[in-house]
Amino acid sequence: MDANAYLKTIDDTISKGSFKDNWDSLSEFQVPRWYEKAKFGIFIHWGVYSVPAFRSEWYPRNMYIQGSEEYKHHIAVYGEHKDFGYKDFIPMFKAENFNANEWAELFREAGAKYIMPVAEHHDGFQMYKSDISHFNAYEMGPKRDLLGEMKAAFEKRDLTFCVSSHRAEHWFFLSHGKEFDSDIKEPLVRGDFYWPSMPEPDHQDLYGSPPNQEYLEDWLIRCCELVDQYKPKVFYFDWWIHTAAFKPYLKKFAAYYYNKAEEWGFGVAINYKHDAFQFGTSVPDVERGQFAELKPYFWQTDTAVAKNSWSYTPGNDYKSSVEIIRDLVDIVSKNGSLLLNVGPKADGSIPEEDKQILLEIGAWLKDNGEAIYDTTFWRTFGEGPTKIEEGQFTDGKTKLFTSEDIRFTVKGTCLYATVLVHPSNGVVKIKSLGKKSHHFHGIIEDISVLGFDEKPLWERTDEALIITTNKVQSAAPVVFSIIIE
């Protein structure tokens, strides 16, 4: 690829398009309506790191940190790093059981509306056909355009195709291999798998020196190549792009992407963390966490079916489907969307545990999806005693919701009240809908319970709307559809 020619194309597209590479112009961005309606997506962490499948997808970094569990495991299983390095896993990444159509069917059954595979993780291996580096899935490993196959299968089933790039962190990700006799040696040049492997001081400072112009231009071209080849409707960035050196390039990318979307004729969005983008120019994302209160802006949380890893590892610590459904309801009630990650095995098969969780979520959504999809927030997101810990990396502990924890969404004439833990006696009290509540002074015409044949009894007192059922039993949240006159 002629990098200078591509950079000129990017600049030309920005100069001719509606969006310019400054925050004032990019603030004209509007969240696509399809995205606000979708509410539930699937994230996919799958790559060369799925071959060792040890501890997490950070194996390629940590295997080069002397003394780490990954370092010791690597020597015990694969031998010395100078003889068998991370690059030597690539031929073992064959994806021999990968079937994009089977994935698409599973994700559709799960009730997901958009799908986001990781196109390139921190390790620098591209899961697609690329003209930038030979270290991609089309030329090595599976020797297939995995991303292209996914796009075709997903869109055939009306699943919105999105991508994520974690390339930014590659600047330092493999640098510890230079600290001892390993297969990571200078000279490293642009296009090499291990390039640039810049220092990461004290093994914990994930910043080190700021990336240089050559690296930043390469990063920009890689992102724009994904846009041009696959036309994703959401482009997700991981955390390291918030560092100062990336700012001019982030603006260029956003302007290029938004202008290309105008050419294509459909709405797109960018996901970001840590104020990498100016507020209002894209969609904020909270990693493994959520907000405690309703937000006036659309947001997303990304989390995983496993608590310990984004990628497949044997013995993953899985969440229950009920736990995830409760989080989905809570997030949607606060004007958010849930992006839920699964980690396929190296051969391309999805673990049975992941499948079961997805199918259980899908079964719940078949009965209750009308309270999730295409809804919006109500005057208050909910009620109940359980407090949500706000911020990233807060989903490691299961939330102990009670029968008093209720979440609201609304669509048309329906107000949906979802009881996160249905009481065993069948009596639900909704304080926000009592006669003296400051949240609601309207008229209730009728109430039904989704997914059950029983017609609930109900009455409004000064203190609460009291709904009684005799036959409704469910470990998962129960949704009441309240018709407002």
The radius of gyration computed from the CA coordinates of the chain, to the nearest angstrom, equals: 24
Closest C-alpha to 379, from 342, 409, 419? 409
Q: Backbone phi, then psi, for 69, in 5-degree steps?
A: -60, -40
The conformational region for residue 479 under phi > 0 = left, psi -120 to 50 = alpha, else beta, is beta
405 and 342 in one domain?
no
Mean pLDDT throughout 457-482?
A: 97
434 and 342 in one domain?
no
Give the domain-ending residue among 343, 371, 399: 371
H or E segment to which residue 414 belongs: strand 414-419
404 and 366 in one domain?
no
Closest C-alpha to 416, from 379, 366, 370? 370
* Residue 387 DSSP symbol: P
391 and 359 in one domain?
no
Residue 98 lies in a domain: yes
Instruction: Give the model confidence (pLDDT) of 112-135 as tens digits.
Output: 999 999 999 999 999 999 999 999
Mean pLDDT throughout 254-282?
A: 97
* Residue 202 scores a pLDDT above 80: no
390 and 367 in one domain?
no
Mean pLDDT throughout 81-101?
A: 98
- What length does the chain have? 485
Is the backbone peptide bond immediately before 187 cis, with ω within 30 degrees of 0? yes
The reported pLDDT for the residue numbered 200 is 84
For residue 309, the one-letter residue type is: S
The domain containing residue 412 runs over which residues? 382-484
440 and 359 in one domain?
no
325 and 297 in one domain?
yes
* Residue 275 scores a pLDDT above 70: yes
Residue 393 lies in a domain: yes
403 and 308 in one domain?
no
> Within a 10 A sphere around the Cβ of 165, how many other Cβ atoms?
21
The reported pLDDT for the residue numbered 352 is 98
Average pLDDT across the chain, whole number: 97
Q: How far is C-alpha 412 from the chain's CA centre?
A: 29
- Dihedral sign, Cα of residue 473, residue 474, residue 475, residue 480: negative
* Residue 201 scores a pLDDT above 80: no
Closest C-alpha to 256, from 9, 435, 61? 9
Give the domain-ending residue among 371, 404, 428: 371
- The larger pLDDT score, comparing residue 206 to residue 309, is at 309
Q: Backbone phi, then psi, for 353, in 5-degree steps?
A: -65, -45
453 and 323 in one domain?
no
The C-alpha atoms of residue 419 and residue 408 are separated, in whole angstroms, by: 9
Residue 264 lies in a domain: yes
Residue 377 lies in a domain: no
Mean pLDDT throughout 81-94?
A: 98
359 and 258 in one domain?
yes
Instruction: Give the model confidence (pLDDT) of 171-199 as tens digits.
Output: 999 999 999 999 999 999 999 999 999 99
CA distances to 247, 436, 479 from 464, rounded to whole Å, are 51, 8, 17
248 and 135 in one domain?
yes
Q: Strand, coil or helix: what is 92?
A: helix
pLDDT more than 70, % of the chain:
98
Question: Would you state the structure tokens that stand for residue 323, as one six-digit string?
Answer: 């736990």
Give the domain-ending residue among 371, 393, 424: 371
The C-alpha atoms of residue 429 and residue 357 are separated, in whole angstroms, by: 30
Considering its fold, how many domains does the chain have in total? 2
Percent of the chain that is helix, strand, coil (3-state, to 5)? 35, 20, 50
pLDDT tier, 264 (very low <50, low <70, confident <90, very high otherwise): very high
CATH of the domain at 446: 2.60.40.1180
CA distances to 169, 246, 251, 338, 441 from 243, rounded to whole Å, are 11, 6, 13, 26, 49
403 and 273 in one domain?
no
Residue 297 lies in a domain: yes
Residue 406 lies in a domain: yes
CATH of the domain at 218: 3.20.20.80
Residue 376 lies in a domain: no
The C-alpha atoms of residue 392 and residue 406 are separated, in whole angstroms, by: 23
The reported pLDDT for the residue numbered 396 is 86
The reported pLDDT for the residue numbered 204 is 63
Strand-pairing partners, residue 3, are: none
Closest C-alpha to 416, from 455, 385, 374, 454? 374
The C-alpha atoms of residue 125 and residue 118 are separated, in whole angstroms, by: 10
Strand-pairing partners, residue 142, are: none
Residue 438 lies in a domain: yes
Instruction: Give the model confidence (pLDDT) of 359-408 as tens digits.
Output: 999 999 999 999 999 999 999 999 999 999 999 999 888 899 999 999 99
The C-alpha atoms of residue 2 and residue 165 are separated, in whole angstroms, by: 21
Instruction: Give the model confidence (pLDDT) of 203-257 as tens digits.
Output: 666 666 889 999 999 999 999 999 999 999 999 999 899 989 999 999 999 999 9
DSSP 209-237: SPP-HHHHHHHHHHHHHHHHHH--SEEEE
The reported pLDDT for the residue numbered 122 is 97
pTM beyond cutoff 0.85: yes
